[in-house]
Amino acid sequence: QIKNLEEIFEARIARDEKIEPKDWMPEKYRQTHIRQMSQHAHSEIVGMLPEGNWITRAPSLRRKAALLAKVQDEAGHGLYLYSACETLGVSRDELYEQLHSGKAKYSSIFNYPTVTWADMGAIGWLVDGAAIINQVPLCNTSFGPYARAMVRVCKEESFHQRQGFEIMLKLCNGTPEQKEMAQDALNRWWWPSLMMLGPTDAESVHTEQSMKWKLKRKSNDELRQQFIDQTVPQADILGLTIPDPDLKWNESKGSYDFGEIDWDEFWQVVKGHGPCNKQRMKARVDAWENGAWVRDAAMAYAEKNEAKKFK
């Protein structure tokens, strides 16, 4: 029976049909989607913290409004993704518990500090830039709710990337100190942005299976190369230097060669030893604990209303 169901499932994947929550799916397909989608959701939620740090200090009302809107979008992305995950039979509370206990990962990139205003530019330009490269192929992923969520998320990320690039452009056309601030932000965010796209294909444990299921449409290395090729000309427009002495156009390949990524640093950050891991987790756990009274009040109100209905 299962064998038959599995064959039908594989044939649907081969025909590029979307798999929907109530359809039969192999248990591993379900689990791997819960893993990737929940880590994606956690990344959006933790990802609000580095930028949230600058909302009260944005240099103008216009910048503040744009940053506030961007951070709110990230909350929205997190909530869609948690909802998409719940369609696979896992509860929101379980997902939060996995994040707060350190069982579930979130993107390494959000464990770096935001020390100057230029970091808001670099995050939008580079981090959202890398996120778009990663997420556009996911609009075509095989699980319906994930694919549909990604369409709107990518549109919003595209606004985020532009607002970041525009911050960088303004700084680069400003005083020498402002340009220096932009260069410093690029120096600090470049390598972590490359790491964000995941370990090399040779080290990536999930890519092979995820490609077969059409969860992933492109490998980590393919996405990283695409990100570099897209971003280097943008740095040229800004008049900034990418902090990689080995970066060089390769005519025969039609793309850039680049230097060695510090994978030790990546794994240290993933394992919880990055510059801000403890601070980020504490912020999320505190928000959960300090918000308990709101959840209790909402539950009490809902129960009271429910009871009234049956009077």
Binding residues for ligand FAQ, per CB under 6 A? 35-36, 39-40, 43-44, 47, 74, 105, 107-108, 123, 127-128, 131, 134, 195-199, 204-207, 210, 216, 220, 270
Residue-wise burial string across 198-226, b where 16 or more C-beta atoms lie within 10 A, e elsewhere = bbeeeeeeebeebeebbbbbbbbbbbbbb
> In the bound complex, what is the minimum distance in angstroms from residue 306's beta carbon to ligand FAQ?
36
Contact criterion met (CB below 8 Å) for 155 and 146: no
> In the bound complex, what is the minimum distance in angstroms from residue 179's beta carbon to ligand FAQ?
23
Nearer to ligand FAQ, 10 or 203 (CB): 203
> In the bound complex, what is the minimum distance in angstroms from residue 292's beta carbon to ligand FAQ?
26
Q: Tell how strand 248-250 and strand 255-257 pair up.
A: antiparallel
> In the bound complex, what is the minimum distance in angstroms from residue 262's beta carbon to ligand FAQ?
13
Nearer to ligand FAQ, 58 or 195 (CB): 195
Contact criterion met (CB below 8 Å) for 231 and 255: no
Contact criterion met (CB below 8 Å) for 111 and 177: no
Nearer to ligand FAQ, 147 or 179 (CB): 147
Distance between CA 262 and CA 211 in Å, rounded?
A: 26
Who's near 244: CB < 8 A, 6+ residues apart? Answer: 190, 258, 259
> In the bound complex, what is the minimum distance in angstroms from residue 39's beta carbon to ligand FAQ?
5
Nearer to ligand FAQ, 102 or 239 (CB): 102
Nearer to ligand FAQ, 134 or 163 (CB): 134
Who's near 265: CB < 8 A, 6+ residues apart? Answer: 191, 195
Q: Which residue number is nearest to ligand FAQ in terms of Cβ?
A: 47
Phi and psi at residue 259, to the nearest 5°: -75, 175
> In the bound complex, what is the minimum distance in angstroms from residue 18's beta carbon to ligand FAQ?
18
Residue 265, burial from CB neighbour count under 10 angstroms (0-12, 13-18, 19+): middle
Nearer to ligand FAQ, 106 or 256 (CB): 106
Strand, coil or helix: 188? helix
Nearer to ligand FAQ, 19 or 132 (CB): 132
> In the bound complex, what is the minimum distance in angstroms from residue 154's beta carbon to ligand FAQ?
10
Residue 307, burial from CB neighbour count under 10 angstroms (0-12, 13-18, 19+): exposed
> In the bound complex, what is the minimum distance in angstroms from residue 307's beta carbon to ligand FAQ?
41
Crossing angle for the helix pair 220-238 and 176-196, nearest 10 degrees?
170
Nearer to ligand FAQ, 78 or 179 (CB): 78
Distance between CA 133 and CA 226 in Å, rounded?
A: 7
